[in-house]
Amino acid sequence: MAFSKEAYRELEDIVGERHISNDPAFLDSYAFQWLAELVRPNFSHYMPRPVAVIMPACTEEVQRIIKLCNKYRVKAKPISTGWYHWAAPLKEDEETLQIDLRRMNRILEIDERNRYAVVEPYVICAQLQAEVMKLGLNINIIGAGASTSIVASACAYAGMGPSSFWMGNNSDNLLGMEWVTPEGEIIRTGSLGSGNGWFCGEGPGPSVRGICRGWVGSRGGLGVYTKCAIKLAHWPGPTEYQVKGTLPGYRLPIQENFRVYTLAAPTWDAWADIYYKIYDNEIGYIFHRQYALAGADLGPALWLTYIDPEKTLNDVEEAVKRKDIQDLTEELRISFQFIMAGRSIREIELQDKILDQILKETGGWKVQRYCEKDMAEFTNTYMQRLGHKHMNFVWVGGYLGSWMQTGTPDWVKGYVPVAIKGLYRDAAGGNLVQCGGDALMGNGSSIAGGGNMGLEQFVSYDPADNASVAAGTQHMRDAIVDAVANGFPPGKEAMYLQVGESDEQIWNALRRTPQPLAFHFQRKIKEAFDPNNVGDRMYATLPSEGKP
């Protein structure tokens, strides 16, 4: 059944005429998505246009909208803060209603004693962090930054960030959640469903959240998450940011019970040794390899220019030529950012002593220039808040991520040289930014407590230059070949590319995975919870192929 005027009117009845639109100008603003040009025909910046966009204000409205999508056989694609091209409709021939959740933007509850907050989908990390910090609490902000939806990262996507080492992945932190299934049923998980509050997301018996919140969530492909409770962590810092400095190089003064370091290692083996010793000694509050995103060859010149209020980015080229910057560039080859927070002064002093001993035993060091006040305070702002997401796009306006397979540090260090060599090779053609083969950024841990992490290769390309876009796409294909040839599974780039592939191509890829059974089970789950196929293929499935 085609999306009709009647369907539009029924949707309008739910939210009112102000909150629904089929104006092409509006619709194209939803189709215009980061990464689209890498996978769309003719390098288009646009994903398929939705048939309409609707903005519900509450769970009940979402439920009624989803039921209408079932009635009219229209795909339902929720978006909150968005990130990645898969937030948009995926196929030209699939009529898709974009459900924009921006009106559901309330922090519903902060329970300080029991350490959780209940939020709607358009509450962003920065918003909640500012509120909970007033109470001496904090949240894990995911790598995609402070402007992202907490509900999205906890329920629907990956959930890892620089603070996951100490605070946990947002999957770990997810408590009760409210889920409008693709059929329009409202499921409340764990203690919430039994009317006992938000504090537990498990059971009774097996946990319903297991249906849809795996390594990644369903990415908008299996209903809409309308609320969730998130576990909060202790924040031993000030109740308000006393930010200083000049835009964009904001600085957060470092409290007496904090330490902000950039650490470096002589080899990747030594880097892994440092990691394991940090892991065993349970020190650190934020653990992240951030500054490499600008590329190992140009990064130091960029960052020191960036924080200098008298410089602009036009000065980077000159900075690169300076001897001190060149020396620093070499010193920072294998480095990462590490922030420690003590519950007391004596505890931070002990953490410091332990870290010094670790560096002594492994041959690592503190990178002095990055530990000086200006850069350390900048690092403190950047890492605590993750508010500089624009820096991903700094070189020429576009970037993509490749690699990012997660595993133990020993395993990750195995793909680092392959990733570095591959980017040098692909950038040598001149159509990708040549900032150094190592633009590998990543969290100290992708799960709570550490021991599992990944590094993502940040590849900068010019989205306005078709040759550069084509080089970006080719790099992703190359990265898959490189990974497989060296015994690693495909990385994040495979997820990007699949958005532009046909169903058959995706199925073939899923069939080649070591355990395709997982995607057969996901088909059965989809059939059970989405009989009218209202969700899109972001919840990946394999066709039955004669199997029951």
Partner 1 sequence: MDNKKEQLADIVGSRFVSDDPAVLDTYARDNSFVLPLKPWFVAQPGSVDEVQKLVAWANHSSTPLIPVSSGPPHFHGDTVPSAPGAVIVELSRMNRVLRIDRRNRMTWIEPGVTYGRLQPELVKEGLRLTTPLMPRPNKSVIASLLERQPTLIARYHYSFTEPLRSCGVVWGTGEMMYTGEAGSGPLSLEAQWSMGARHSDPKGPGATDYVRLLTGAQGSMGIVTWASVRCELIPAMRKLFFVPATTPESLIDFMHRLLRVRLGDEVILVNNTQLAYMLAHQADKVAALTKSLPPWLLIIGIGGRALFPEERVDEQQQDLVELAQTYGVRLASGIHGATTNEVYDLLLAPSREPYWKLSYKGACEQIFFLSTLDKSREFIDTVYHTARIHNYPESEIGVYIQPQHQGVAHHCEFNLPYDPRDFNEVSNIKQLFSKASEALVSGGAYFSRPYGIWADMMYSRDAQSTSALRKVKRIFDPNNVMNPGKLCF
Distance from C-alpha of 64 to C-alpha of 184, rounded to nearest angstrom = 7
> At a CB cut-off of 8 Å and minimum separation 6, what does 41 contact?
none
- Residue 221 binds partner 1 (CB under 8 A): yes
Binding segment for partner 1 (CB under 8 A), chosen from 19-27, 46-54, 276-284, 496-504, is 276-284
Residue 343: Cβ within 10 Å count: 10
165 burial (CB, 10 Å; 0-12 / 13-18 / 19+) is: buried
Reduced 3-state DSSP string for 305-356: HHCCCCCCHHHHHHHHCCHHHHHHHHHCCCEEEEEEECCCHHHHHHHHHHHH
Q: Show the site string, 9-48: x = touches partner 1 by CB under 8 A, - = not.
A: ----------------------------------------
In the DSSP assignment, the letter for residue 255 is P
- Residue 210 binds partner 1 (CB under 8 A): yes
- Residue 269 binds partner 1 (CB under 8 A): no
Q: Residue 337 in 3-state DSSP? A: strand
Residue 415: Cβ within 10 Å count: 25
Among 126, 130, 187, 254, the residue binding partner 1 under the rule CB under 8 A is 187
Q: How far is the CB of 233 from partner 1 (least distance, A)?
A: 8
Binding segment for partner 1 (CB under 8 A), chosen from 8-16, 68-76, 501-509, 525-533, is 525-533
Q: Is the CB of 397 or the CB of 417 nearer to partner 1?
A: 417
Q: Show the site string, 141-180: x = touches partner 1 by CB under 8 A, - = not.
A: ---------------------------x--xx--x-----
Site for partner 1 in 473-502 (CB under 8 A): 487, 489
Q: Is the CB of 248 or the CB of 407 nearer to partner 1?
A: 407
Q: How far is the CB of 90 from partner 1 (least distance, A)?
A: 15
Among 40, 85, 227, 231, the residue binding partner 1 under the rule CB under 8 A is 231
- Residue 277 binds partner 1 (CB under 8 A): yes
- Residue 421 binds partner 1 (CB under 8 A): no
- Residue 114 binds partner 1 (CB under 8 A): yes
Q: Residue 269 in 3-state DSSP? A: helix
Distance from C-alpha of 27 to C-alpha of 47, rounded to nearest angstrom = 10
- Residue 268 binds partner 1 (CB under 8 A): no
Q: Is the CB of 53 or the CB of 137 nearer to partner 1?
A: 137
- Residue 256 binds partner 1 (CB under 8 A): no
429 burial (CB, 10 Å; 0-12 / 13-18 / 19+) is: middle
Give the H or E element holding residue 128. helix 125-133
Q: Is the CB of 307 or the CB of 355 nearer to partner 1?
A: 355
Residue with tokens 């890829």: 509
Note whether 325 and 319 are within 8 A (CB): yes
Which residue intervals of 368-491 are DSSP H helices? Answer: 368-371, 373-385, 409-427, 466-485
Distance from C-alpha of 64 to C-alpha of 59, rounded to nearest angstrom = 9
Q: How far is the CB of 352 from partner 1 (least distance, A)?
A: 11
Q: How far is the CB of 222 from partner 1 (least distance, A)?
A: 7
Site for partner 1 in 299-328 (CB under 8 A): none
Cis peptide bond N-terminal to 238, omega within 30: no
Provide, for the chain, the percentages of residues in helix, strand and coil under a 3-state DSSP scheme, each rounded to the nearest 5.
Answer: 40, 15, 40
Residue 494's alpha-carbon distances to 240, 437, 477, 501, in angstroms, are 41, 20, 8, 10
Distance from C-alpha of 258 to C-alpha of 284, rounded to nearest angstrom = 10
- Residues in the interface with partner 1 (CB under 8 A) total 92
- Residue 218 binds partner 1 (CB under 8 A): yes
CA neighbours within 13 Å on the CB side: how many for 441? 23
Site for partner 1 in 446-465 (CB under 8 A): 446-449, 451-452
Note whether 110 and 135 are within 8 A (CB): yes
Among 182, 442, 522, 536, the residue binding partner 1 under the rule CB under 8 A is 522
Taken as a whole, the chain contains a residue count of 548
Distance from C-alpha of 351 to C-alpha of 247, rounded to nearest angstrom = 32
- Residue 518 binds partner 1 (CB under 8 A): yes
Q: Is the CB of 24 or the CB of 204 nearer to partner 1?
A: 204
- Residue 517 binds partner 1 (CB under 8 A): yes
Among 29, 196, 502, 505, the residue binding partner 1 under the rule CB under 8 A is 196
Q: How far is the CB of 72 from partner 1 (least distance, A)?
A: 24
Q: Is the CB of 428 or the CB of 528 nearer to partner 1?
A: 528
- Residue 191 binds partner 1 (CB under 8 A): yes
Note whether 427 and 437 are within 8 A (CB): yes
- Residue 411 binds partner 1 (CB under 8 A): yes
Binding segment for partner 1 (CB under 8 A), chosen from 114-122, 125-133, 285-293, 310-318, is 114-122
Q: Is the CB of 140 or the CB of 431 nearer to partner 1?
A: 140
Q: How far is the CB of 99 from partner 1 (least distance, A)?
A: 19
Cis peptide bond N-terminal to 253, omega within 30: no
Distance from C-alpha of 528 to C-alpha of 522, rounded to nearest angstrom = 10
Site for partner 1 in 338-367 (CB under 8 A): 343-344, 346-347, 350, 353-354, 357-358
